[in-house]
Amino acid sequence: MRVTYANSAKILAQFGATLDHVMEKTLYVLDVDEAFAVAGEVRKEAYAKARPSAPAI
């Protein structure tokens, strides 16, 4: 997840944006328990301000 956020931040920066400009993201997972065990912490690290809506599928 950290790599995905880092890659997303690099792409957004090319357009003068940051992760703080993201309104919603969708998390696709195979193992819900494993994903949610780390998702909260990683999201807090990635977003400096309010975190976007994050439905999971």
- Outline where 1-57 has alpha helix (H): 2-13, 32-46
- Predicted model pTM: 0.72
Q: How confident is the model at residue 32, as a pLDDT?
A: 87
Residue numbers in the chain where pLDDT is lower than 70:
50-57
pLDDT in tens, 14-23: 999 999 888 8
* pLDDT reported for residue 57: 59
Sign of CA dihedral 32, 1, 18, 28: negative
pLDDT at 50: 67
Nearest to 2 by CA among 52, 57, 44: 44
- Alpha carbon distance 14, 57 (integer Å): 28
Would you state the pLDDT for residue 37? 86
Spatial separation of the C-alpha atoms in residues 13 and 15, rounded to whole Å: 5
